[in-house]
Amino acid sequence: MPLVSIVELALHAKQTNDIVPEADWAAARNIVKADLRPDDLVVFAPFWADPLGRRTFGDSIATPKRAGRSDERRFARAWEVSIRGAHDEALAGWKKVDERKAGAVTVTLWENPDHTKVIDDLVDLVTPERLSVSRVDDHGEQPCPFQRGRTAGGTTVVPQGLLTPADKFVCNGGHVGVAVLHALDHRPHLCIYATPIQGATLRLRFSDVTFGASLHGHSGIQWLVERKPTPEKVSVSFSAFGHTLGTHFHKVGVGWVGFELPTNDIEGKKGELTVDIAPSSQRQFCFEATTRHASSSATGGGR
Amino acid sequence: MSDKDEVNEETQRLNPLMVAARAKAEDAKAKAREAIPPELRETPRAPEVVEAKAKEIRPEPETAEEEKPAEPDAEASEADGSRSKSEREKDATEEKEADGRPAEREEERPLGERVVAWAKRNVDHLIGSGLGALYVGWLLATARTLGFSRDEGFYFSASSQYEKWFQLLFSTPGKALERAAIDPIWTANHEHPSLMKSLFALSHMFLWNKWKLVQDQSTAFRLPGMLMMGLAIWITYLFAARVYSRRAGIAAAIALGLMPRVFYHAHLACFDVPIMAMWIACVYAYWRAEKIGGLGPALLAGVVFGLTLETKHNAWMLPGVFVPHAILVHGRSMMSDAAKTARLPIPASLVAMATIGPAVFLLLWPWLWNDTLPRIQEYVNFHLHHEYYNIEFLGRTYFGPPSPKSYMPVMIAATVPTTTLLLFAIGAFDRLRVVGARAIGWLGETLGRAWPKPSGQDPLHTDALLLLALAVPLAVFLLPRTPIFGGTKHWITAYPALAIFAGRGFDLVADRIEALLKSRTSLDETKRRWALAIAGAITFVAPFAVTRHSHPFGLSAYVPFFGGTAGGADLGLNRQFWGFTTQSLNDWFSKNTKPGDTVYIMDTAWPSWHRMVDEKRIPQWLRGVGSPAEATISLVHHEQHMNEVDYNIWTEYGTTAPEFVLTHDGVPIISVYRRPQDGRRGPR
């Protein structure tokens, strides 16, 4: 029994001394920074080390789009910054290009065999210059003005729900702005927080959108709602040049889920993209969509 | 009739109709005994088969306990081999010394001799209380570095309310007992009974307000909980010492104290460690009542059960320990009596618990003094339909039934030092073997087969009692509807029994080491004792190191065989709850904030935050606020279901990068964000 205690003590001593120093994280950051491209992904593994990575790498590298990514396929390469031999399963099947050590941190560069390059990202277009929002009901279409205000939400009690963004389009019964969703997978997803309106359609018109071979998108509802599945669906229709491109139905309970609509017939064209969100009681709905160059064989799912 | 039956015939039981007559007879006997000088009274011995018959001529229970500690169970324990050799030798020596002393009146002896004699008589209480006091000292020494948990904040508030009532009670008792005084005060936090909160209040009232004996108000609030931990250590020692050996008792007490989760909870002004202490105290009181017999111990068991009910609702599970045990001990004689008299004789302690227990529960909880039945109904309903909080287990956040059956065993394995668990496994296996052998013997007897029966059986089935005290609180967590949000604290009541079996396991290992030293070395006895002491110290060095290192992140710590704190994070085990870790940011706050800075306090309860500021545990220039929108600095206590707070701060501050991450063994505990000064808006 004293021997078991000695082994336990030795393990304890090792574990409490094997802490990754901040200097190693900083060295890893320098490796990544030296060769980072705009459409590179940066991931920290294991996921619990994500705050440590974001702390050291800063938000110029750990941007909201990388940290709160919709999917991995939009990135050509990925820098995996890992400790304790962890590996992000989302990079399974990617080709290892390089691996370097920064003390206790391993930096691995992966190449995406299934990259679909993003042309336009609707999240970037949520500005008064590129987006107009309106409420459509029996009385016609009422514009929802853009307002710069304060966020709403956040208490000392959890769960507290999706934070209503400070800058948003405000409708009678809803709003549209950019937020970060805590989805059913407990991961962050940067998305357009567009509250469906009961008794009215929420219409978003994005101008000057360049179309590719397909429209990729994802949607989700705040995790607390999704963890109790219901038959209810949120319907999101996309149309351009007078034609419906397709409709995505988000069923409550599926979590952060991807969809893909082919747009080969309008590939290379530039025009208005209209998104209609049908009436629903699901207030904490969030989605994102991108136009992409190459369509892939399967839809990009959530992680 | 078998010997066992005879024992059971003689074992104290209480038919409700015979209470008065029996009590009268006991009183008469007690008076007769008091007339006999103590040294001439019969030396109390183990309640073995023959001795149990002579129960009527025994001294009163308390006297018996004081006069011969750790001895009453010696024979029963020796019979099944549960006492160590050294212990038996030691007891024999002490017995010889006591017997060799000439009869002498106590008051005629010199004071020093009397003190020594008293200490010898009370050696077990001295060891137990000494260990408990030492532990309370450790808790006091580390209390200042542990922040206030969410629930503590609520209990600080409730206790402060109750304190006002006690002040009224001491000044104008008549007014205090009026409904107008009771209801507004005792409505506060009425979902839990009042005993501990009353003790927190009284401790604060006297130790802080009146006598200024403690450094912080919080220490005054927390002290009763810490003392309860001392009591748990004391009784755990006492129980193991009396059932197995002093060595087992010491090992059991140490094993209980050196569990990181227990160490954490023992600091708090909460009810989890108190109910753990009262649980084992109640089991012990019941066992003593069964062992000694007589009305006094039975009444005491009733009172202790009442206090346990008044500590926390876990106490309502205790009948699940006592009733099966009573049936095991008395079942046959009860059936036989029932057949003869058409009445079902019930053990006195159980009757006392069923009557005095609820009475004490009502008496000590002023909120129940008015509208009693509806309020009891409200209390019951609150706990029967308690909300399910979120808790992460193996990477998944659970928030309702069905709870995973593996939760309890995995969490025990992941949080109780492995050395302790192995000792427990050895001890529990040994006792299960004995229980199993008895069961086989009983079965053989019932089936009329000549199966071997173990000799020298313990008529009290103490092993079975301890196994029940361990199993009942754990078994509840195998039910699909039992909420698991409290983590290990909700089955903490099982830990004293676990520790007692670990003590027994230690005893067996020590015996083995002793035998090896004797047979394979030429060490003399003194050196062998030293070698054994060193081996014992080494055995507990890992649990000590792990427990000490876990502070003040006891809820984040996992045992080395699970990879430590980082291993727990890898496995997706809960990292903390209650927001108490905020205080651990004090160094960072002190160096990186300035007067006027506002802090979003996240999971920290307001009363906890205010107390931390008040006691200068964090800079007093900070102002707490309730949302990131109002704050220049925002905190995230890392728990899976609280990720949304992290992401909402990205939305609010437009950055994903915390300025500081508080870690324990490299694992994030709190992320601290500062609002960027560049006027950015939104997370893009």
Give the type of residue at B395. G
Alpha carbon distance B365, B45 (integer Å): 40
- Which residues on chain A are in Cβ contact (under 8 Å) with B627? 151, 153-155
Please tell me chain A's helix, strand, coil percentages from 3-state DSSP, rounded to the nearest 5: 20, 40, 40
- Which residues on chain A are in Cβ contact (under 8 Å) with B419? 1, 4-5, 8
Q: Which of B422, B535, B655 lies at the smallest CB-CB distance from A59?
A: B655
**Candidates B429, B509, B644, partner chain A, best to mutate (most A CBs within 10 A):** B644
Spatial CA neighbour of A284 closest among A223, A200, A218, A203 = A223
- pLDDT-based confidence at A302, cuts 50/70/90? very low
Q: What percent of chain A has pLDDT over 90?
A: 91
Please tell me chain B's helix, strand, coil percentages from 3-state DSSP, rounded to the nearest 5: 65, 5, 30
The number of residues making up chain A comes to 303
Q: How do residues A272-291 score in pLDDT, each as one tens digit?
A: 999 999 999 999 999 999 99
B310 within 8 A of B361, measured Cβ to Cβ: yes
Cα B466 from chain centre: 14
Q: Which of B417, B426, B671 lies at the smallest CB-CB distance from A51?
A: B671
- Which residues on chain B are in Cβ contact (under 8 Å) with A62? 656-657
**Any A CB within 8 A of B419 CB:** yes
Tokens for B612? 């931390």
**Any A CB within 8 A of B627 CB:** yes
Tokens for A232? 């209810």
Give the type of residue at A272. E
Contacts of B373 (CB under 8 A, 6+ apart): none
Q: Do residue B545 and residue A9 have CB atoms under 8 angstroms apart?
A: yes
Q: Which of A49, A124, A180 lies at the smallest CB-CB distance from B647?
A: A180
- Tokens 């009284």 belong to residue: B202
Spatial CA neighbour of B251 closest among B543, B46, B518 = B543
Q: Do residue A156 and residue B563 have CB atoms under 8 angstroms apart?
A: no
Alpha carbon distance A49, A46 (integer Å): 6
**A·B CB contacts under 8 A:** 206
**Any B CB within 8 A of A54 CB:** yes
Which of B:503-562 have CB within 8 Å of A?
Answer: 505-506, 509, 535, 538-543, 545-546, 549, 559-561
For B587, other C-beta atoms within 10 Å of its C-beta total 10
Whole-number pLDDT of residue B75: 43
Whole-number pLDDT of residue B82: 58
Alpha carbon distance B291, B302 (integer Å): 15
Whole-number pLDDT of residue B598: 97
Alpha carbon distance B268, B274 (integer Å): 10
Return the residue of A nearest to B577 by Cα.
A158
Bridge partners of A180, per DSSP, are A190
Q: Do residue B650 and residue A86 have CB atoms under 8 angstroms apart?
A: no
- Tokens 């990477």 belong to residue: B395
Give the minimum alpha-carbon distance from A57 to chain B in angstroms, rounded to a whole number. 8
Spatial CA neighbour of B423 closest among B527, B504, B515 = B504
Q: Do residue A227 and residue B399 have CB atoms under 8 angstroms apart?
A: yes
How do the domains of chain A map onto residue ranges? 2-111, 118-292
Tokens for B50? 């023959």
CATH 2.60.120 fits A118-292, yes or no: yes
* CA dist list (Å): B605 to B125, B270, B608, B615: 40, 14, 5, 16
Go through B100-134 and write b for each residue having 16 or more CB atoms within 10 A of its CB, e for each that does not.
eeeeeeeeeeeeeeeeeeeeebbebbebbbebbee
3-state secondary structure of B14: strand
Which of B:348-407 have CB within 8 Å of A?
Answer: 390, 397, 399
Which residues of chain B, if any, have pLDDT below 50? 1-28, 30-72, 74-76, 78-79, 90-102
- pLDDT-based confidence at A150, cuts 50/70/90? confident
**Any A CB within 8 A of B656 CB:** yes
Q: How do residues A168-226 score in pLDDT, each as one tens digit?
A: 999 999 999 999 999 999 999 999 999 999 999 999 999 999 999 999 999 999 999 99
Q: Do residue A158 and residue B644 have CB atoms under 8 angstroms apart?
A: yes
Q: How do residues A130-143 score in pLDDT, each as one tens digit?
A: 999 999 999 999 99
**Candidates A3, A5, A41, partner chain B, best to mutate (most B CBs within 10 A):** A5
- Which residues on chain A are in Cβ contact (under 8 Å) with B648? 151, 153-154, 160, 162-163, 179-180, 182
How do the domains of chain B map onto residue ranges? 3-124, 148-214, 580-674
- Which residues on chain B are in Cβ contact (under 8 Å) with A167? 681-682
Angle (nearest 5°) at CA B504 between B503 and B508: 115
Alpha carbon distance B307, B298 (integer Å): 14
Whole-number pLDDT of residue B80: 55
Q: Do residue A15 and residue B650 have CB atoms under 8 angstroms apart?
A: no
Alpha carbon distance A155, B352 (integer Å): 48
- Judged on CB neighbours under 10 Å (0-12, 13-18, 19+), B342 is exposed
**Candidates B623, B651, B659, partner chain A, best to mutate (most A CBs within 10 A):** B651
**Candidates A17, A33, A41, A59, partner chain B, best to mutate (most B CBs within 10 A):** A59
* Phi-psi domain of B394 (left: phi exceeds 0; alpha: psi -120 through 50; beta: other): left
DSSP state of B426: H
Crossing angle between the packed helical segments B195-203 and B150-171, to the nearest 10 degrees: 70
Q: Do residue B683 and residue A180 have CB atoms under 8 angstroms apart?
A: yes
Which of A:155-194 have CB within 8 Å of B?
Answer: 155-156, 158-163, 165-167, 177-182, 186-188, 190
Give the minimum alpha-carbon distance from A250 to chain B in angstroms, rounded to a whole number. 21
* Phi-psi domain of A238 (left: phi exceeds 0; alpha: psi -120 through 50; beta: other): beta
Dihedral (CA of B294, B300, B301, B303) sign: positive
- Tokens 């709403």 belong to residue: A152
Spatial CA neighbour of B509 closest among B233, B248, B246, B127 = B248
Alpha carbon distance B332, B2 (integer Å): 11
Q: How do residues A252-263 score in pLDDT, each as one tens digit?
A: 999 999 999 999
Whole-number pLDDT of residue B342: 77
Backbone angles phi, psi at B544, to 5 degrees: -65, -50
- Which residues on chain B are in Cβ contact (under 8 Å) with A222? 644
Whole-number pLDDT of residue B337: 84
Which of A:253-282 have CB within 8 Å of B?
Answer: none
- Which residues on chain A are in Cβ contact (under 8 Å) with B568? none
Return the residue of B nearest to A50 by Cα.
B668
For B33, other C-beta atoms within 10 Å of its C-beta total 16
Whole-number pLDDT of residue A52: 98
**Any A CB within 8 A of B658 CB:** yes
Give the minimum alpha-carbon distance from B123 to chain A in angstroms, rounded to a whole number. 28
3-state secondary structure of B608: helix
- Tokens 């396991």 belong to residue: B505
Q: Do residue B667 and residue A167 have CB atoms under 8 angstroms apart?
A: no
A285 within 8 A of A250, measured Cβ to Cβ: yes
Q: Do residue A51 and residue B650 have CB atoms under 8 angstroms apart?
A: no
- Judged on CB neighbours under 10 Å (0-12, 13-18, 19+), B404 is middle
Backbone angles phi, psi at A300, to 5 degrees: -80, 115
Q: How do residues A30-68 score in pLDDT, each as one tens digit?
A: 999 999 999 999 999 999 999 999 999 999 999 999 999
